[in-house]
Structure formats: structure tokens, C-alpha cells
Structure 1
Amino acid sequence: MEKHRSKPFNPNIANGFFRAGFIETWGRGIEKICESCKNYGIKLPEYTVYPEDIMVKFEALNTAKNTANKIDENIQFVLDYLKEYPSAKQKHIMEDLHVSRRTLERITSLLKERAYIERVGNNRSGYWKIKK
């Protein structure tokens, strides 16, 4: 991609984002995209330049594998957390591990199915018993 002049579609909105700190500098977007792709080992995007805009095309990634790895990683984090804090409340687990309520529910359900944990007592005053 050759050097080009950066021209925002709506300068007023762009200036607001710049002043709020959401835009670092003008005209570095494509450079930063390419740099990030190189850092992550991703194929560089293809660019199509039109008179009024630029189209950027990225290669699709296999997100299913990445998602599965992230879920397994979160499962281990939750299990380790419950070992250390067996009487922890759902709210504290979500806040400390930065996971959503639904993600935590999914993980605890999986851990119960795999017989790693068991809930002893009620939701208010009970605790998690680690079985494995």
C-alpha cells in the first residue's frame, strides 16, 4: 500500500474521537493493521482502493479452535479459584475472573458433569467441594 492522505469521512466526528483519546494519530490505521497482522502471524489483508474509500479484506481464522482453548483455560481458572475459595459467591467469581454470568454457569455445569466439583449446601451458605 502506497502512502496516501488520510481524509476522514466526517471530520467533526473524527475530531471528537481524536480529542477523547480514541484515535492516536491520523493516517496510521493501515500501517497499524499490517503491523498487528505480522505480530500475530496472520496473513496481511488485501486492500482495494476506490476514489472515496478503501476496502480491507481479511482471511478468516479458525475461531472454533481458539474458542475451545479459551473455554478450557477458563475452566481451569474457575477450578483453581474454587479450590482456593470454596465458599465464593457467583458475583465474586465473575468479578475476580472477568467472566460473564452465562460463561460461569456454563463452566460450573461442565465441571459438575465431569464430576470435578459438587455443590454442598444451598446457594446462599453452601460451598463448592472439589472432587478431583
Structure 2
Amino acid sequence: MEKIVLNIATLYGALGIIFGAFGAHALKKVFSEELLKSFETGVKYQMYHALVLLVLGFQLSFTETIEKSAAWCLILGTFLFSFSIYGLCLSSAKGKKLRFLGPITPLGGLLLVMGWILLGISFL
């Protein structure tokens, strides 16, 4: 499990840098200020959780179910939250907003919150 968490952390980190640069340069000309802020929110949350997963990958043994569950909630939550924001922003800029992604963002946020709560419980 440690290797999975560390590999996903580094993937999220690398993609966060790529998406951040893409947003700051290429999308700046295409996106409205509001869309750019939303896109940046996705990048920030992705980077925050990439760093958290990196630390957890080195610090936790993942022998307890609660540790594994926390990690999976953070991994899936980051993917659903950030990538749904990217999809919403990109589709909105093209005039064809993918509305089905709207409910996915809060679901990702809920998984992130659950991951943090489970992580806190595992420390008790």
C-alpha cells in the first residue's frame, strides 16, 4: 500500500505542476477570471493532497484498515474533486458545460473530508 500511495502522490504532484502551468499560461487567454479561479482551486487541492499523501506514504504502515481507508478516501476524493473541476472549467470555456460533473465535485470533497476524519481517528 505504501508504494501505491507514494506513486499516486508523485503522479498528483507532477500533474499539479503541469496543470498549474497550463492554467497560468495557455488557459489564461481562454478562461474568464472566474473559470481561472475555479481551475486554480482544483490545482491547489490536488497539490495539497499530493503532499499529504507523500507524507502518509512515508509515515504510515497501512496495517490498519482505518489507515488504508483514509488513504483511499484522499486518493479518490482528490481525483473526483480536482478532475471534475478541470472538466467543468474546460467544457464551460468551450460553451458545452458537462453538467454531469457538477455533483461529482462535492462527492470528491466529501471523500476528502472523510479521509481527514479517518486519519484523525487513526491517530487517537
Q: Normalised by the size of structure 2, how large is the TM-score?
A: 0.26
> Which has more helix, going by share of residues?
2
Q: TM-score, normalised by structure 1?
A: 0.25
Q: Which has the higher contact order (CA 8 A, sep 6+)?
A: 2
Larger radius of gyration: 1
Bigger fraction of residues in strand: 1
